[in-house]
Amino acid sequence: MASTHFATRLANAIRSSGTPLCMGIDPHPAMMPSLFGDVSEAGHPRTIRAISDFTMACLEAARGRVAAIKPQAAFFEAQGPDGMRVLAALGRAAVDSGMLVIMDAKRNDIGSTNAAYAQAWIGHEAPFPSDALTVNTYLGLDTLEPLLARADAVGAGLFVLTRTSNPGAGALQDLDVGGKPLFHNLAEQLAPLATARCDAAGRSALGIVAGATWPDEARALRAILPSAPFLVPGFGAQGAGPADALAGLTRDGDGWQNGLINSTRGLIFPKSAADAGDIASWRDAIDQAISDSCAALASV
Amino acid sequence: MASTHFATRLANAIRSSGTPLCMGIDPHPAMMPSLFGDVSEAGHPRTIRAISDFTMACLEAARGRVAAIKPQAAFFEAQGPDGMRVLAALGRAAVDSGMLVIMDAKRNDIGSTNAAYAQAWIGHEAPFPSDALTVNTYLGLDTLEPLLARADAVGAGLFVLTRTSNPGAGALQDLDVGGKPLFHNLAEQLAPLATARCDAAGRSALGIVAGATWPDEARALRAILPSAPFLVPGFGAQGAGPADALAGLTRDGDGWQNGLINSTRGLIFPKSAADAGDIASWRDAIDQAISDSCAALASV
């Protein structure tokens, strides 16, 4: 059981790995090196085996080198129920070995149904084990209640979609609400909920997703949510540099705090790994990609 | 392959069943009659068997009596990968028998990841087979593109969360944007996309979720989106009566058009079915619940 506070575990993971870097694990068949096998047919046993081998190899490469992993549910779902079995096994292997797992499933529904999503996705004992889950609150802040109840009970975290990394993020998120963009309003609604679930060091288990491609927005969000961890997608392949990615985090004597900088393609699909002839040279390429990203973040 | 247009299939389903009623299928363990077996342990083979038997029995009861079924992904996910296998089999059995399937999974992500969700959830050939999928566009309208591309290619539909049925729906959806609530702004952004994908009778494959508990909002949305099908949750157990539920639909000589009125607890968990001693008496109770709901909608 993850009985410690999520924010404490997050801070420990950043300190022990020496970086706020998070490895996104998106088993995109079209990007997987041929080394791992034929993935041309969705749901086929050989595709499932290749995706299992690839994602477990990513986890091995991540161990001790990054603060967390963030599996993307969509790519496992695209393989059907057997893909979901791979995701469950990946989450189990990761939490059992002490690696922090952010399940990126962006779940959302009305309250009574969110209780079922909470059961599925939140905590080390869930069928899809995690330390934290990404969620969407367009349906209203009342829908967070069963998710928070579960997260609080098992020492897990939540990351609420607030300002996302995609080019069209502003279509709803930037709409002017009383002189401020909508995502500020959402952050203000989240603020008391974040404040209410801090660890002894004042760090909250309720966080937000704040895309690396919008550094000014991340700084504004940090002012509204001083205690919330930020999950920052968009670093690397999506175009954001290290300074932009770190804009919403804070720094103390131990290094960067209060957030995770996610990179997916830059870490698990570096160009140098695409044509690897064997697992050892693939692993060397991934190790180098992690080192390069850590160094880039440390240079800020 | 579902090569006909989703809106045409929807209209045909409403006409042939004689009702816009949709049966929500949420296998909530705490509500399932003991007749179907012990469901106390999530993911256990006997729980999985009970949920499979129960949801397949719901599908049998729905066949020919309602216009569509709407399985709720959350309750299958809460059972882990084996629960997802039950959902896949339910969807397969339904589409193979010609029953319209709305997968209520409320998926959402940035565009490239939404392509994976599209592969997983949209169309008769998807691992989780459907005629239409519910989606959330808080991330921005650009994120709809890969979902629409897939839906267009396979003759499927989408229902975008616009105005939901929960008590706190307004926390974001009602925020004032230029003198109008946010959900109007979203509907206006969706309007050209809906208009662009109509069948020969002017009915769109791009619809919205418009909760039955907000009839005034549904009428306002119909004015903005004349061609869009409305998926209307909240009828029955959530408190909305038939007139409120039908507020956003239109009527012609063939009856109600342009939408589905979903009922879950009222159809699959009626009080009269809770203590059924055998499958025949359970089925009688469900048949009666369907008849009562159809009659209530027909009385408007």
Tell me if A37 sits within 8 A of A50, measured CB to CB: yes
A271 is catalytic: no
Let me know the angle formed at the C-alpha of B159 by B82 and B174, rounded to the nearest 5 degrees.
115
Helix (H, G, I), strand (E, B) or coil at A233: coil
Report the distance separating Cα B82 and Cα B49, nearest Å: 10
Chain A nearest CA to B186, separation (Å) = 7
Per-block mean pLDDT, blocks of 10 residues, chain B (300 long): 84 96 98 96 98 98 98 98 98 98 98 96 98 98 98 98 94 96 98 98 97 94 98 88 95 89 97 94 98 96
Report which of A28, A134, A30, A43 is spatially closest to residue B88, judged by C-alpha positions.
Answer: A43
Tell me if A146 sits within 8 A of A119, measured CB to CB: no
Q: Locate the chain B residue with the closest alpha carbon to A170.
A: B140
User: What is the mean predicted confidence (pLDDT) over A224-239?
Assistant: 92
User: What is the mean predicted confidence (pLDDT) over A124-129?
Assistant: 98
Tell me if B224 sits within 8 A of B191, measured CB to CB: yes
pLDDT of residue B1: 46
Compare CB distances from B136 to A77, A138, A171 and report the shortest one's residue.
A138
Q: Locate the chain A residue with the closest alpha carbon to B184.
A: A172
pLDDT of residue B138: 97
Report the distance separating Cα B271 and Cα A5, nearest Å: 41
Q: Is the pLDDT of residue A242 over 90?
A: yes
Q: Is the Cβ pair A136, B140 closer than 8 Å?
A: no
CATH of domain A6-298: 3.20.20.70
ipTM over 0.95: yes
Q: How far is CA B184 from CA A77, B196, B269, in A?
A: 32, 19, 34
Report the distance separating Cα A216 and Cα A273, nearest Å: 34
Sign of CA dihedral A145, A146, A147, A150: positive
Q: Is the Cβ pair B142, A178 closer than 8 Å?
A: no
User: What is the mean predicted confidence (pLDDT) over A106-132?
Assistant: 97
pLDDT of residue B238: 74
Report the distance separating Cα B284 and Cα B61, nearest Å: 9
A215's enclosing H/E stretch is: helix A215-224
Q: Mean pLDDT over all residues of chain A?
A: 96
Q: Is the Cβ pair A166, B85 closer than 8 Å?
A: no
Main-chain dihedrals φ then ψ at residue A140, nearest 5 degrees: 125, 150
DSSP state letter for A31: G
pLDDT in tens, A256-290: 999 999 999 999 999 999 989 999 999 999 999 99
pLDDT of residue A32: 97
pLDDT in tens, A1-51: 456 999 999 999 999 999 999 999 999 999 999 999 999 999 999 999 999
Q: Locate the chain A residue with the closest alpha carbon to B110.
A: A166
Give A145's contacts in chain B (Cβ within 8 Å).
none
Give B45's contacts in chain A (Cβ within 8 Å).
none
Compare CB distances from A165 to B110, B167, B182 and report the shortest one's residue.
B110
Lowest mean pLDDT among A127-131, A163-167, A267-271, B263-267: A163-167
Q: Is the Cβ pair A140, B169 closer than 8 Å?
A: yes
Chain B nearest CA to A9, separation (Å) = 25
Q: Is the Cβ pair A81, B80 closer than 8 Å?
A: no
Let me know the angle formed at the C-alpha of A186 by A181 and A190, rounded to the nearest 5 degrees.
145
Q: How far is CA B157 from CA A78, A134, B38, B116, in A?
A: 18, 26, 36, 17
Q: How many CB pairs under 8 A join A and B?
A: 194
pLDDT of residue A96: 97
- Relative to beta strand A176-177, strand A180-181 is antiparallel
- The b-or-e profile of A191-212 (16+ CB within 10 A means b, else e) is bebbeebbbeeebbbbbbbbbb
Q: Is the pLDDT of residue A254 over 80?
A: no
DSSP state letter for B72: B
Let me know the angle formed at the C-alpha of A43 by A42 and A44, rounded to the nearest 5 degrees.
95
- Bridge partners of B240? B235
A69's enclosing H/E stretch is: strand A68-71
Domain positions in chain B are 6-298
pLDDT of residue A238: 73
Q: Is the Cβ pair A77, B127 closer than 8 Å?
A: yes
